[in-house]
Amino acid sequence: MSNIGYPDQGEETINLEQTAKLLARIKIGDNRTVNDEVTMDWFHALDGQVTFVDAINAVSLHRRESTDYLQPAHIVRLAKRLREDRNQGKALAALEGLGQGKYPAPRPDNFDAMAAAWNDPVEFAKQCRIYQDQLDREGYIGPAVA
């Protein structure tokens, strides 16, 4: 992930032909006038900032959330939000891969005993060992600790 919220290096950003398609999609919703000058203006505003897919999805998101007249800045902001959401989802999926797909660790069977032993270091250590045995039985492998 290079620039959070913006296309990764090497990822193809929107081109002029795609910008024209994007504006055709937008025109369906608000009957705006689209010509070569408008298309070129939008292309320069979006170039390097969004992918075509994110731009199309940003239009749909804008229409669900706002009645404002759609501008390139809306597309850039919403595409960034979509990308951040997607990247966060990838990070959560990676976390779920820890512990053989079990994240977080299961609730201790001896939770009440652990809570009762909180102020007794010897008893609490004993209860933690019992919980570790539970984790081992269930095949849980926690995240690596550096």
Three-class SS state of 38: helix
The model's pTM: 0.58
Lowest-confidence range among 5-14, 57-66, 124-133? 5-14
pLDDT per position as a tens digit, 77-133 = 999 998 888 877 766 655 555 544 455 678 899 999 999 998 888 998 899 889 888
User: In the chain, what is the straight-line distance between the N-terminal and C-terminal CA atoms, in Å?
Assistant: 23
Work out the pLDDT band at 146, boundaries 50, 70, 90.
very low
CA distance 49 to 15: 11
Q: What per-residue confidence (pLDDT) applies to 20?
A: 96
The residues spanned by each domain of the chain are 16-97, 100-146
Work out the pLDDT band at 141, boundaries 50, 70, 90.
low
pLDDT per position as a tens digit, 38-61 = 999 999 999 889 999 999 999 999
Q: ∠ CA 85-53-95 to the nearest 5 degrees?
A: 30
Instruction: Determine if the peptide bond prior to 104 is cis (ω within 30°).
Output: yes
Phi, psi at 2, each rounded to 5°: -90, -75
CA distances from 64 to 38, 48, 70, 128 (A): 24, 25, 12, 49
**Residue 140: pLDDT over 80:** no
Q: What's the mean pLDDT in 7-30? A: 88
Please, where are the H alpha helices in 1-146?
A: 16-30, 36-46, 52-65, 72-97, 111-116, 121-137
Q: Which residue has the higher pLDDT, 108 or 11?
A: 108
